[in-house]
Amino acid sequence: MEGYKGFWVFIEQLQGRISDVGLELLAKARELADATNTYVGALLLGDFAEDKAKELFGYGADKVFLFSHPHLQIYHSLAYTKLICQAVKAEKPEALFMGATPLGADLAPRVAARLETGLSAHCVDLRLGEDGVLEQIVPGFGGAMMAVIVCPEKRPQMATVMPGVFPKLEPQERQGEVVPMEVALEEADLKPKVVEFKAKEQKTVALEGASVVICGGYGMGSKENWQLLEEMAKLLGGAVGATRPAVDEGWAPEEVMIGQSGKIVHPKLYIGAGISGVMHHVVGVQDSEIIVVINKDPNAPFFEVCDFGVVGDATQVLPALIEKLKERLQVD
C-alpha cells in the first residue's frame, strides 16, 4: 500500500528497565527493513532522557519515537494505546510488532482495534512473502501445523511475538534520530491506576540463557519422579523446564513451562523426557543446538525433530544416565 513504510517495534519497559523482547524484535525488524529498503522505528514510552533512547540505535533502530513523561513510567493501557495510535496515524508504518507478553497481550489488541487493522498473536516467526506482504507464522489446529497469516488490505500489519524467538543483535555503534513526541494526557487516560508492583519470587533456575535445559512431560508420571530431572539438571549445571500437562498436574510451576504459551529456549543441549512432542512445545525448543528425546513410544512425533533419541521409559532411563554422569564427574 502506498504511503506506508517502516517496521516499528514497541519497546516494552518495566519501571525503567527495557525488556529483552523489544530488543529481539528490533533485530528481526532490521532484517525485514534491510530486505525492503526501509527503516526501523522504535516506540519508547516511559520517563526517559534522549540518551536512553539512543541506546536503541545499537540494536537496530533508525528512529526512536520517544514519549517521555513521569506518568508513562508505569504502564497505563489507555494512555499507551492513545499515544501509540496517534503516532501510527501520523507516521504510517508498514508494520508494528510487540512482545507476546502479559503487557503486549493487553496493549496490542487495543491498538489494533482502534486502528481497525488485523493482529496475529503469539507468532513464532515473521517473514516476507514473494509479494512483499508480511507473513506471520503461528502454530495452528492444536499444534498440528504451522499457520501462515497475512493482512493484505490493512495497515499497519500487527503481530505479537514470543520472547526468545529471535536473537538480539550485538550492540553496535550506529547513528539514528530521536523523535520527541508530544504527551498530552487527560485524567481519563490514566485509569485504571496501578497502585503497587510486587516482584514474583524466582524459585527455580532461570531458563532464559541456560546452556542446558532438562524438560519433563506427562510421561514422568508423578511429582516424585520429577526429582530425577532436578538431579540431572544439577549435575549438568542446567535448568528444568516443563510441558503444559506437567504444569497442570502440579509437578512444576507455570513459570518454567516451555512452548508457544510459555517460554522459548535455545540452549546448547536440550533433553526432553516423557514428552510426545506436539508442535506447541516443539516451537519452544526447535532452535536448540542439540535435542535429545527420551520416550517409550517409538512413534512419538518428537523423534522426527531430535538429534538423538532414546526409546524407553524416562523414569528408568534417567536414573541410568544420572549414575553414568556421577561416574564421569566423580561425584557421589
pLDDT tens digit sequence for 128-165: 887 778 888 887 655 556 788 888 788 899 999 988 88
Distances (CA, A) of 103 to 71, 100, 107, 157, 325: 17, 8, 6, 19, 42
Residues 21, 166 within the same domain: yes
- Whether 125 is in a domain gets the answer yes
Is the pLDDT confidence value at 112 over 90? yes
Residues 127, 274 within the same domain: no
In total, how many domains does the chain have? Answer: 2
Q: For 274-319, write each residue's pLDDT tens digit.
A: 999 888 888 889 889 999 999 999 999 999 889 999 999 999 999 9
Mean pLDDT, rounded, for 29-40: 93
With a pLDDT cut of 70, the percent of the chain lying above it is: 95
Is the pLDDT confidence value at 1 over 80? no
The band of 190, judged by pLDDT with boundaries at 50, 70 and 90, is confident
The band of 29, judged by pLDDT with boundaries at 50, 70 and 90, is very high
Of the candidates 239, 289, 240, which has an alpha carbon nearest to the alpha carbon of residue 269?
289
Is the pLDDT confidence value at 209 over 80? no
pTM score:
0.79
Structure confidence at residue 249 (pLDDT): 93
SS3 per-residue string spanning the chain:
CCCCCCEEEEECEECCEECHHHHHHHHHHHHHHHHHCCCEEEEEEECCCHHHHHHHHHHCCCEEEEEECHHHCCCCHHHHHHHHHHHHHHHCCCEEEEECCHHHHHHHHHHHHHHCCCEEEEECEEEECCCCCEEEEEEECCCCEEEEECCCCCCCEEEEECCCCCCCCCCCCCCCEEEECCCCCCHHHHCCCCCCCCCCCCCCCCCCCCCEEEEECHHHCCCCCHHHHHHHHHHHCCEEEECHHHHHCCCCCHHHEECCCCECCCCCEEEEECCCCCHHHHCCCCCCCEEEEEECCCCCHHHHCCCEEEECCHHHHHHHHHHHHHHHHCCC
Structure confidence at residue 195 (pLDDT): 77
Residue 233 sits at the vertex; the CA angle it makes with 227 and 236, to the nearest 5 degrees, is 145
Residue 231: all three cell numbers together: 538431579
Is the pLDDT confidence value at 186 over 90? no
Residues 153, 236 within the same domain: no
* Domain containing residue 175: CATH number: 3.40.50.620
Residues 36, 117 within the same domain: yes
Are 67 and 73 within 8 A, CB to CB? Answer: no
Residues 229, 83 within the same domain: no
Is the pLDDT confidence value at 39 over 60? yes
Structure confidence at residue 149 (pLDDT): 82
Please name the residues in contact with 317: beta carbons below 8 A apart, sequence gap of 6 or more.
273, 294, 310
Mean pLDDT, rounded, for 222-243: 93
Is the pLDDT confidence value at 198 over 80? no
Is the pLDDT confidence value at 17 over 90? no
- Whether 2 is in a domain gets the answer no
Residues 170, 27 within the same domain: yes
Range of the domain at 163: 7-190
Phi-psi sector, 6: left (phi>0), alpha (psi -120 to 50), beta: left
- Whether 202 is in a domain gets the answer no
Structure confidence at residue 264 (pLDDT): 87
* Domain containing residue 221: CATH number: 3.40.50.1220
Mean pLDDT, rounded, for 31-44: 94
Q: For 80-106, write each residue's pLDDT tens digit.
A: 999 999 999 999 999 999 999 889 999
The band of 50, judged by pLDDT with boundaries at 50, 70 and 90, is confident
Residues 119, 266 within the same domain: no
Is the pLDDT confidence value at 201 over 70? no
The chain-wide mean pLDDT, for the chain, equals 89
Structure confidence at residue 34 (pLDDT): 93
Residue type at 134 in one-letter notation? L
Residues 229, 166 within the same domain: no
Between 263 and 272, the more confident residue is 272
Mean pLDDT, rounded, for 46-63: 90
Structure confidence at residue 140 (pLDDT): 67
Residues 27, 154 within the same domain: yes
Residues 163, 29 within the same domain: yes
Q: What is the largest CA-CA distance in the chain?
A: 68
Are 66 and 48 within 8 A, CB to CB? Answer: yes
Residues 114, 245 within the same domain: no
